[in-house]
Amino acid sequence: MSGPQSKPQNQPMFDRIALIGIGLIGSSISHAARRAGLAGEIVGSARTPATVETAVRLGLIEQGFVSAAEAAEGADLVILCTPVGLCGPIAKDISRSLRPGAILTDVGSVKASIVRDVAPHVPQGVHFVPGHPIAGTEQSGPESGFAELFDGRWCILTPEPHTDGKAVEKLSAFWEALGSRVEVMTPEHHDLVLAITSHVPHLIAYNIVNTAAHLERVTDSEVIKFSAGGFRDFTRIAASDPTMWRDVFLNNREAVLDMLGRFTEDLAMLQRAIRFGDGDTLHRLFTEARAIRRGIIQAGQDTAAPDFGRVPARGATAAAPADKKG
């Protein structure tokens, strides 16, 4: 039986969720929160009226605003879902709208800079619990989201030691209800881990795609035609949003440079092994790397299907228009 203070059992976890930014992550949170019945109401804001209109039309939000401060008004959960570099200025903007007892969180891919930029604007009585769902695609905008994005993926929370434990517990329960598994760590450790698992891989993808584009002895059409040899998988990552990724590198500089240093040293070792025909070293290093892939599949973080589960498109011919040029 419920006590006089407790909510009825079918009461949503939050009365009003405000999404500040309604792109891939904001819209996916809306879909997943609706799937699990976590919100009485979802409202939101974006930079442009076009995004706000799309979000309302798609049923992602009940009310939309171009002003983040208006969207945050009266919400008991406010989630910053904009590029990392905007979180500080937006926190300043919405500071007076945040209601006492509300949880303020974010989904930014970098954490220490967000704590630095957002925390000074959080009023007393509001619980700031930074977060980062380790789930995404190369798509952006309100139409790209889907309810299953967070299923089985990790969400990292990086509260400061003095943060209210109940607020951290409630936000953890929210992410679990969205389908995620939750881990808590310091912002600095998050940034180091993500530098090697996400940020440097994106930098390498951007770089290899641009290197291929600027080659003189291999034509662009050859690069496209023969892309299934491995290049294609880098192009998917390199199709990610340039604004988001610019902000990631500007805001996780130290950890990325640290990991890039390690990467460059290891690359030099491979280069040397190739130069000196050292097959044993190459074989050993490739065998170690292969085991990591198996570990990822065993942990349920990817599919073991051949070619990443791609189904060959029916009717695809060897003579697509771009191929002919090569």
Q: Report the interface residues with ligand NAP, using CB under 6 A.
A: 20-26, 45-48, 51, 68, 81-84, 86, 90, 107-109, 132-133, 136-137, 140-141, 241, 244
Q: How far apart are CA 136 and CA 143, in angstroms?
A: 14
**Of 83 and 159, CB closest to ligand NAP:** 83
CB of 251 to ligand NAP, least distance (A): 9
Phi-psi region of 12 (alpha: psi -120 to 50; beta: other; left: phi over 0): beta
- The three-point CA angle 221-225-230 to 5° equals 120
Q: Contact 117/91 with Cβ under 8 angstroms?
A: yes
- Closer CB to ligand NAP, 110 or 259, in the complex: 110
Nearer to ligand NAP by Cβ, of 38 and 248: the residue is 248
Measured in residues, the chain has a length of 326
Q: Which one, 246 or 294, has the nearer CB to ligand NAP?
A: 246
Q: Read off the tokens for 169.
A: 């517990």
Q: How far is the CB of 248 from ligand NAP (least distance, A)?
A: 6
Q: In 10 A of CB 96, how many CB atoms?
A: 11
Q: Give the Å distances, CA to CA, from 188 to 76, 108, 163, 253.
A: 27, 14, 17, 12
Structural tokens at position 225:
């035609």
Contacts of 271 (CB under 8 A, 6+ apart): none
- Based on CB atoms, which residue is closest to ligand NAP, 139 or 281? 139
Choice between 53 and 254, CB closer to ligand NAP: 53
Write down the least CB distance from residue 107 to ligand NAP, Å: 4
Min dist. Cβ of residue 136 to ligand NAP (A) = 2
Q: CA triplet 51, 31, 234: central angle to 5 degrees?
A: 75
Q: Cα(195)–Cα(113) distance, rounded to whole angstroms?
A: 14
Question: How far apart are CB 184 and ligand NAP at their closest, in Å?
Answer: 17
| CA 159/CA 172 separation, integer angstroms | 11
Q: How far is the CB of 317 from ligand NAP (least distance, A)?
A: 33
Identity of the residue numbered 280: D
Q: Whole-number minimum distance, CB 90 to ligand NAP, in Å?
A: 6
Q: Using the minimum distance from each CB to ligand NAP, give the nearer residue, 56 or 224.
A: 56
